[in-house]
């Protein structure tokens, strides 16, 4: 027996990781409570970490994270760990590495202090002197709690302190960007540019950090009297590099050299109503520019992309270089504009929508996306309907649809209404079940005394949990002001039912008992 015991003890000791204080180790969350989290780090005992040290998305049973070992054994015989110190140590190591490599870092301006600002970099508070901030005449609201680029100009490893400069970071980025552009520019290549200034003899074009001159004689194959006939300040154009003089920092540009004027006989090449293929060459918030041939582009407006999907960001649907087939809607040679449509090549599904999805019918769909006020559900033919937050649950107060639904989740919903003209479908999730409020009213009649738990506190009252499915509101004038100031989520409150609104699904309560 003694031999067996010693063998078991040896096996047990061999299975325990070697731990040292003041080091970082991997740990797995085994239990999450309101104020503390129990963590298994492979040692003979588990460790307790204050819940306040975790980010919300980290507090999941089974999740592996890094922890700092403060002591191997405390008074209770448990290993003492810190999530916050692990983050700080890792952040400091990153800061040191960025400083040694002379790299630019991202930081969040946390607050204004005497002589400058405090900036959070990798979890470390750094000092940004006002003289190095480049924040002159910038309102505090546009600085505080915003992210910027910084350069670490001084680092004290003993005091764990850093001094930052946004001014030097901006200068470094500008110099690097400018040098990169000079190296990339090649005679004969075409580059995008922004018209920076227009003069009598031409226009200065910003190529992304260096300027070039587009002379009036190189703007058009046709005679023009002034550069403003072709370009204006703020225009984005593509130009050809004609000559590069790096010694004198001069770049000569051409516009007419790209192609002969293709719009001269555009109406003989294209006609309204035909289908045509083209390449996506530019994507803007209001649509997509498609190159039909060299020098001729048409615009697919966002409203002409899809019958069923509301496109708010064309970049989510298209990429530069995509080949698309479209239909020509209009041609305006004088204005050099061609309007294109993708959706006209497809059958309009809204023409038969009421027959396919009659009001009151149940349909299956998939969660496509979220807003603050509801969830979008994709049905057949890529049609989308929306479930408003008020139609998700009969009893629960849903502040964020993502609390109860996930993207890609399959659902059965009820068609509540169809707006053919505005192409909208209203859906309901709670309508799959009978309205429970008549029964709730029977179970909790007026004057019923209840023991509740505080969920949240607002300006107009206190929301409390009556049971797992039902919340009620203690009106602000139905609770003692002194008691209201002391309340916090989780507190127990005894209340009386003073109002039951079955139609609105609301319970009014009073704590004045």
Predicted pLDDT at 90:
75
- DSSP-derived letter for residue 35 is S
CA 288 – CA 69 distance, rounded (Å):
55
Predicted pLDDT at 74:
67
- Tell how strand 296-301 and strand 287-293 pair up: antiparallel
Tokens linked to 40: 């298994």
Alpha helix (H) residue ranges in 210-349: 266-269
The answer on pLDDT for 278 being more than 90 is: yes
**pLDDT digit string, tens, across residues 369-388:** 888 889 999 887 678 889 99
> Rounded mean pLDDT of 255-274?
86
Predicted pLDDT at 75:
66
The answer on pLDDT for 119 being more than 80 is: yes
Answer with the residue of higher pLDDT: 77 or 231: 231
- Tell me what percent of the residues of the chain surpass a pLDDT of 90: 34
- Tell how strand 410-419 and strand 250-254 pair up: unpaired
Q: Pick the range with the lowest mean pLDDT from 176-185, 424-433, 501-510.
A: 176-185
Tokens linked to 465: 């949990």
Superfamily covering domain 262-345: Nucleic acid-binding proteins (2.40.50.140)
Residues contacting 442, CB < 8 A, separation 6+? none
- DSSP-derived letter for residue 136 is T
Q: Which of 389, 394, 392 is nearest to 436 (CA)?
A: 394
The answer on pLDDT for 57 being more than 50 is: yes
Predicted pLDDT at 504:
86
Predicted pLDDT at 24:
79
The answer on pLDDT for 15 being more than 90 is: no
The answer on pLDDT for 45 being more than 50 is: yes
Predicted pLDDT at 238:
93
CA 23 – CA 4 distance, rounded (Å):
35
Residues contacting 339, CB < 8 A, separation 6+? 298, 299, 301, 304, 328, 329, 330
Predicted pLDDT at 17:
54
Task: Report the chain's mean pLDDT, rounded to a whole number.
Answer: 86
Residues contacting 248, CB < 8 A, separation 6+? none
The answer on pLDDT for 39 being more than 90 is: no
CA 47 – CA 149 distance, rounded (Å):
38
185-254 has CATH 2.40.50.140 classification: yes
**pLDDT digit string, tens, across residues 237-254:** 999 999 998 888 889 999
> Rounded mean pLDDT of 418-439?
88
Q: How confident is the model at residue 311 (pLDDT cuts 50, 70, 90)?
A: confident
Q: Give the three-state DSSP class for 299.
A: strand
Predicted pLDDT at 9:
47
Residues of the chain with CATH 2.40.50.140: 17-87, 102-173, 185-254, 262-345, 349-432, 437-510
395: number of CA atoms within 13 Å, CB side? 17
Q: Which of 153, 205, 150, 217 is nearest to 181 (CA)?
A: 205
Query: What CATH number was assigned to the domain covering residues 437-510?
Result: 2.40.50.140
Q: Pick the range with the lowest mean pLDDT from 134-143, 149-158, 347-356, 491-500.
A: 347-356
Q: Pick the range with the lowest mean pLDDT from 6-15, 306-315, 346-355.
A: 6-15
CA 479 – CA 462 distance, rounded (Å):
9
- Tell how strand 449-458 and strand 374-378 pair up: unpaired
> Rounded mean pLDDT of 412-434?
89
CA 117 – CA 165 distance, rounded (Å):
11
Predicted pLDDT at 196:
94
Distances (CA, A) of 431 to 9, 172, 363, 367, 428: 61, 59, 12, 17, 6
The answer on pLDDT for 55 being more than 60 is: yes
Torsion of CA 81, 86, 87, 93, to 10 degrees: 170
Q: What share of the chain is helix, strand, coil (3-state, %, to 5)?
A: 25, 40, 35
DSSP string, 45-96: S-EEEEGGGS-GGG--TT-EEEEEEEES--TTS-EEEEHHHHHHHHHHHHHH
Predicted pLDDT at 384:
86
**Beta-ladder partners of 95:** none
The answer on pLDDT for 16 being more than 90 is: no
**Beta-ladder partners of 386:** 376, 426
Tokens linked to 214: 């587009």
CB distance 127 to 118 below 8 Å: yes
Q: How confident is the model at residue 4 (pLDDT cuts 50, 70, 90)?
A: very low
**Beta-ladder partners of 340:** 300, 328
Query: What CATH number was assigned to the domain covering residues 102-173?
Result: 2.40.50.140
* End-to-end alpha carbon distance in the chain: 67
**pLDDT digit string, tens, across residues 120-152:** 887 788 899 988 888 888 888 888 888 999 988
CA 448 – CA 62 distance, rounded (Å):
42
Predicted pLDDT at 325:
94
> Rounded mean pLDDT of 292-321?
87
> Rounded mean pLDDT of 67-90?
78
Q: How confident is the model at residue 84 (pLDDT cuts 50, 70, 90)?
A: confident
Any idea how long the chain is? 513
CATH number for domain 349-432, candidates 1.10.1380.10, 3.90.1150.10, 2.40.50.140, 3.20.20.60: 2.40.50.140
**Beta-ladder partners of 203:** 198, 214
| Tally of CB atoms within 10 A around 267 | 11
| Tally of CB atoms within 10 A around 221 | 11
For domain 17-87, the CATH class is mainly beta
Residues contacting 358, CB < 8 A, separation 6+? 415
**Burial of 118 (C-beta count, 10 Å sphere; 0-12/13-18/19+):** middle
């Amino acid at each position: 027996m003694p031999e067996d015991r010693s063998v078991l003890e040896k096996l047990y000791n061999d299975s325990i990781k070697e731990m040292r204080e003041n080091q970082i180790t991997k740990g797995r969350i085994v239990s999450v409570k309101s104020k503390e989290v129990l963590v298994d780090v492979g040692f003979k005992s588990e460790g307790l970490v204050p819940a306040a040290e975790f980010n919300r998305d980290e507090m999941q049973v089974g999740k592996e994270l890094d922890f700092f070992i403060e002591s191997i054994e405390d008074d209770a015989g448990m290993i003492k760990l810190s999530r916050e110190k692990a983050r700080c140590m890792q952040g400091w190591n990153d800061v040191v590495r960025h400083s040694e490599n002379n790299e630019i870092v991202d930081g969040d301006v946390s607050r204004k202090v005497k002589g400058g600002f405090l900036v959070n970099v990798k979890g470390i508070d750094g000092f940004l002197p006002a003289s190095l901030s480049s924040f002159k005449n910038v309102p505090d609201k546009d600085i505080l709690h915003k992210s910027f680029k910084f350069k670490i100009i001084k680092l004290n490893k003993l005091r764990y302190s850093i001094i930052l400069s946004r001014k030097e970071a901006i200068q470094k980025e500008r110099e690097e960007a400018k040098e990169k552009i000079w190296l990339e520019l090649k005679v004969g290549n075409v580059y995008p540019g922004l018209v920076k200034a227009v003069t009598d003899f031409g226009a200065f074009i910003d190529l992304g950090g260096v300027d070039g001159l587009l002379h009036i004689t190189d703007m058009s194959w046709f005679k023009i009297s002034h550069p403003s006939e072709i370009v204006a300040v703020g225009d984005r154009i593509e130009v050809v590099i004609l000559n590069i003089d790096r010694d004198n920092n001069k770049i000569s540009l051409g516009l007419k050299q790209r192609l002969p004027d293709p719009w001269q006989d555009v109406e003989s090449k294209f006609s309204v109503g035909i289908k045509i293929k083209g390449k996506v060459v530019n994507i803007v918030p209001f649509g997509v520019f498609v190159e039909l041939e060299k020098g001729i582009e048409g615009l697919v407006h966002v409203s002409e992309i899809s019958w069923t999907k509301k496109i708010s960001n064309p970049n989510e649907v298209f990429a530069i270089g995509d080949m698309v087939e479209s239909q020509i809607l209009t041609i305006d040679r004088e204005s050099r504009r061609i309007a294109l449509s993708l959706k006209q090549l497809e059958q309009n599904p809204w023409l038969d929508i009421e027959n396919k999805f009659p009001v009151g019918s149940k349909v299956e769909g998939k969660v496509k996306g979220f807003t603050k006020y509801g969830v979008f559900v994709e049905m057949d033919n890529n049609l989308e309907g929306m479930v408003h937050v008020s139609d998700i649950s009969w009893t629960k107060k849903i502040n964020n649809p993502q609390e109860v639904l996930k993207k890609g989740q399959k659902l059965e919903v009820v068609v509540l209404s169809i707006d053919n003209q505005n192409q909208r479908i209203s859906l309901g999730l709670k309508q799959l079940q009978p309205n429970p409020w008549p029964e709730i009213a029977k179970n909790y009649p007026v004057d019923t005394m209840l023991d509740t738990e505080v969920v949240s506190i607002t300006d107009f009252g206190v929301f409390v949990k009556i049971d797992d499915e039902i919340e009620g509101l203690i009106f602000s004038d139905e609770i003692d002001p002194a008691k209201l100031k002391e309340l916090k989520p989780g507190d127990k409150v005894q209340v009386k039912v003073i109002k039951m609104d079955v139609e609105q699904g609301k319970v009014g309560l009073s704590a004045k008992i």
